């Protein structure tokens, strides 16, 4: 099949070429899929898209017009795809439901350790001959209460790592996981988690229910000095309210790998540009905020898995086989 790959980087191209044993014709495009780039799908059978590509009803209608039969998401989340529109146009949507959940869980831990022990600051200081320890004091993770919102594939791994540090774990998920309960993790109501946790880590998907799950009200329930970590989706947090929570010291640390308006920023080198987003500029200005640009998934193991499963999804479709990883709606 001829597949138009949008939003690709060198690591995508290398990995997909290595695993393309089904001999699909892969057209790698750096541009994101949107109304200006949709015509690049002409003559293609399939589209392969990522987290910030636009797959709303208008785009999907045009994809149909251009002959696209399947949308292969090379990620787990699909909040950027209008599934109703895809169904109406009889375009299949597949994804990679799991690709190294450990990668994202471990990145959340990296954010916690860096924010806490300030290794990023120590690295820069020492390179400049500054061996002072002033303002590098952290805290023991041992014995702290960690609140985990969403204990699916990634949240579970995260919980297990934090248990290894000797933390107490509380979790909130409409579907509690019995393995985690057996490990001593206590499922509580969201309000209780917000009130008791020293560190809160978000691992739930973005849905209408979870959009701004961390809003002004949620911040008002947190303890002073909370650390908030988000490696899931940006819109789980009201970022403007996070700025207020940092100013009033409810948040003593914020670590985010995702941002609500990331689409205009992340995955690009904007070092010579003026950043027009005032909220992220304000967040960057805080000494106790650590932002990474959606790199939680970026390990060799995860990239190999993403490429293998995406190509298998496309081959299964081409051969008329059952699509194990199809996203369906009722």
Q: Which of 24, 54, 74, 233 is catalytic?
A: 233
- Binding flag, residue 294, ligand NAD (CB under 6 A): yes
For ligand NAD, the closer of residues 59 and 204 by Cβ is 204
Sequence-distant (6+) residues with CB within 8 A of 94 are: 70, 71, 72, 73, 310, 313, 314, 317, 323, 325, 326, 327
Structure tokens at 4: 């138009």
Q: How many Å apart are CA 62 and CA 27, to the nearest integer?
A: 18
Q: Which of 30, 77, 113, 293 is the binder for ligand NAD (CB under 6 A)?
A: 77
Structure tokens at 68: 């696209």
- Binding flag, residue 74, ligand NAD (CB under 6 A): no
User: Which residues between 162 and 181 bind ligand NAD (CB under 6 A)?
Assistant: 172-175
Considering only the stretches 217-225, 248-256, 291-299, 311-319, report the one whose residues sit in contact with ligand NAD under the rule CB under 6 A.
291-299
Q: Which residues pair with 289 in a beta bridge?
A: 254
- Whether 211 is a known active-site residue: answer no
| Chain position carrying tokens 């009889």 | 90
Q: Which residues pair with 253 in a beta bridge?
A: 227
Q: How many Å apart are CA 93 and CA 63, to the nearest integer?
A: 12
**Angle, helices 10-19/300-318, rounded to nearest 10 degrees:** 50
What is the nearest approach in angstroms of ligand NAD to the Cβ of residue 100? 9
Cβ–Cβ under 8 Å, residues 200 and 218: no
- Whether 19 is a known active-site residue: answer no
Cβ–Cβ under 8 Å, residues 24 and 2: yes
- Whether 262 is a known active-site residue: answer yes
User: Which residues between 6 and 45 bind ligand NAD (CB under 6 A)?
Assistant: none
Identify the DSSP state of 27. E
Select the residue whose beta carbon is closest to ligand NAD and give its number. Answer: 152
- Binding flag, residue 158, ligand NAD (CB under 6 A): no
For ligand NAD, the closer of residues 177 and 288 by Cβ is 177
Provide the mask over 94-133, with x wherever binding to ligand NAD is found by CB under 6 A and - wherever it is not: ----x--x--x-----------------------------
What is the nearest approach in angstroms of ligand NAD to the Cβ of residue 320? 28
Q: Which of 16, 238, 296, 325 is the binder for ligand NAD (CB under 6 A)?
A: 296
Provide the mask over 224-253, with x wherever binding to ligand NAD is found by CB under 6 A and - wherever it is not: -------xxx--------------------
Provide the mask over 131-150, with x wherever binding to ligand NAD is found by CB under 6 A and - wherever it is not: ------------------xx
Cβ–Cβ under 8 Å, residues 253 and 291: no
DSSP tally for the chain: helices H, then strands E? 12, 12
Q: Which of 7, 116, 151, 325 is the binder for ligand NAD (CB under 6 A)?
A: 151
Cβ–Cβ under 8 Å, residues 7 and 52: yes
Q: How many Å apart are CA 24 and CA 97, to the nearest integer?
A: 21
Give contact residues for ligand NAD (rule: CB under 6 A): 76-77, 98, 101, 104, 149-155, 172-175, 203-206, 209-210, 231-233, 257-258, 294, 296-297
Catalytic residues: 233, 262, 294
């Amino acid at each position: 099949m001829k597949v138009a790959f949008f939003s690709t980087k060198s690591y995508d191209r290398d990995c997909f070429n290595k695993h393309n044993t089904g001999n699909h014709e892969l057209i790698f495009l750096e541009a994101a899929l949107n109304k200006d780039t949709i015509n690049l799908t002409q003559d293609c059978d399939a589209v392969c898209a990522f987290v910030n590509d636009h797959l709303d009803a208008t785009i999907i209608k045009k994809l149909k017009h251009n002959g696209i039969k399947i949308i292969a998401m090379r990620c787990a989340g699909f909040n950027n795809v209008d599934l109703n529109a895809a169904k109406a146009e009889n375009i299949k949507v597949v994804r990679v439901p799991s690709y190294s959940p450990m990668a994202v869980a471990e990145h959340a831990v990296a954010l916690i350790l860096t924010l806490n022990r300030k290794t990023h600051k120590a690295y820069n200081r020492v390179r400049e001959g500054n061996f002072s320890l002033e303002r590098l004091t952290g805290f023991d993770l041992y014995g702290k209460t960690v609140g985990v919102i969403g204990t699916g594939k990634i949240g579970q791994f995260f919980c297990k790592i934090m248990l290894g540090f000797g933390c107490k774990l509380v979790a909130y998920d409409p579907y509690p996981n019995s393995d985690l309960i057996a490990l001593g993790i206590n499922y509580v109501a969201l309000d209780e988690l917000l009130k008791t946790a020293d560190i809160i880590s978000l691992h739930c998907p973005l849905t209408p229910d979870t959009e701004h799950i961390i809003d002004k009200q949620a911040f008002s329930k947190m303890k002073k000095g909370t650390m908030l970590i988000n490696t899931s989706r940006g819109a789980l947090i009201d970022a403007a309210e996070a700025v207020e929570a940092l100013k009033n010291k409810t948040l003593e640390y914020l670590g985010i790998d995702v941002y609500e308006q990331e689409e205009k920023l992340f995955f690009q080198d904007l070092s010579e540009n003026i950043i027009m987003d005032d909220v992220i500029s304000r967040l960057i200005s805080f000494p106790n905020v650590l932002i990474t640009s959606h790199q939680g998934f970026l390990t060799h193991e995860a990239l190999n898995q993403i490429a293998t499963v995406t190509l298998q999804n496309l081959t299964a479709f081409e051969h008329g086989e059952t699509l194990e990883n199809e996203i369906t709606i009722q």
